[in-house]
Structure 1
Amino acid sequence: MKTAEHLADLTNAGYIDDLSKQSDIARHNFASKFFHRQRWIALVNHTVAIRAQRNQILFRIDHVTILYRM
């Protein structure tokens, strides 16, 4: 299954929030708050966050889970 299809299925099932559907301002605020490096900011525009907590964000891309801690 392609990444986009997999993420769409998870989003439609309500497991994740699709950041791509948020406004540019919302994405920018999200990136500014949680990501400090350019590579993470770029990631925000192309992926979805499964869970965003106070000090960590969980991503799932191509069946790989990425946990980012501030």
Structure 2
Amino acid sequence: MKNQSTKENPQAEFYTLEDFRQLTKDTIEASIRKNSIEYIRSILLEEVEALCGQSHKHKRGQLAH
């Protein structure tokens, strides 16, 4: 059950069990997807910094392009 009463719609919204399961599944999948992308991004950023040095730093020697 989702209790969402607003000024425009004073009645509460009710979900069936199947709707609630689907909403839960979608929420969990979205969270897993988001966390996976953030983890991969951090790994790629770490690799780029190892190869090129930190961003916004003056680079000398082998790290200079």
TM-score, with structure 2 as normaliser: 0.23
Look at both structures and tell me which one has the larger radius of gyration over its CA atoms. 2
- Structure with a larger share of its residues in strand: 1
Does 1 or 2 have the higher relative contact order (CA < 8 Å, sep 6+)?
1
| TM-score for the superposition, normalised by structure 1 | 0.21
